[in-house]
Amino acid sequence: MSATRDQVLADLRERITSIEGDGVKKAGCLPFGVPDIDAVLPGGGLAHGALHEFAGGGSGTVDGAAAALFAAGIAARTKGQIVWCLTRPDLFFPALAQAGLPPRRVIFVESDKEEDVAANMEEALSYGGLGAVVGEMVRLPMVVSRRLQLVAERSGTIALAVRRWRRQTEASDFGQPTASTTRWRVSVLPSEELPVPGIGRPRWFLELMRSRAGECAEFEIGACDDKGRIHLSAGSRDRANTSRGSLYSG
How far apart are the C-alpha atoms of 246 and 200, rounded to whole Å? 24
Q: Note whether 109 binds other proteins by CB under 8 A.
A: yes
Q: Which of 34, 130, 152, 232 binds other proteins (CB under 8 A)?
A: 130
Q: Which of 4, 22, 103, 175 binds other proteins (CB under 8 A)?
A: 103
Q: How many CB atoms lie within 10 A of CB 192?
A: 15
Return the number of the residue (103 or 175) whose C-beta is nearest other proteins: 103
How far apart are the C-alpha atoms of 86 and 84, rounded to whole Å? 7
Cα R_g (the chain), whole angstroms: 18
Q: Note whether 59 binds other proteins by CB under 8 A.
A: yes
Whether 48 contacts 30, CB under 8 Å: yes
* Sites for other proteins among residues 148-207 (CB under 8 A): 186-191, 197-199, 202-204
Minimum gap (Å) between residue 40 Cβ and other proteins: 22
Q: Note whether 58 binds other proteins by CB under 8 A.
A: yes
Whether 51 contacts 148, CB under 8 Å: yes
Return the number of the residue (50 or 65) whose C-beta is nearest other proteins: 65
Whether 152 contacts 51, CB under 8 Å: yes
Return the number of the residue (124 or 179) whose C-beta is nearest other proteins: 124
Q: In which region does residue 235 sit, left (phi positive, over 0), alpha (psi from -120 to 50) or beta (all else)?
A: left
Segment lying near other proteins (by CB under 8 A), choices 64-72, 141-149, 175-183, 231-239: 64-72
Q: How far is CA 85 from CA 56, 105, 131, 223, in A?
A: 18, 14, 14, 23
Q: Note whether 123 binds other proteins by CB under 8 A.
A: yes
Q: Note whether 95 binds other proteins by CB under 8 A.
A: yes
CA torsion angle 121 127 131 136 (round to 10): -10
* Sites for other proteins among residues 31-50 (CB under 8 A): none
Contact positions toward other proteins, by CB under 8 A?
A: 58-59, 63-66, 68-70, 72, 80-81, 83, 90-98, 102-104, 106-111, 116, 120, 123-124, 127-130, 186-191, 197-199, 202-204, 223-224
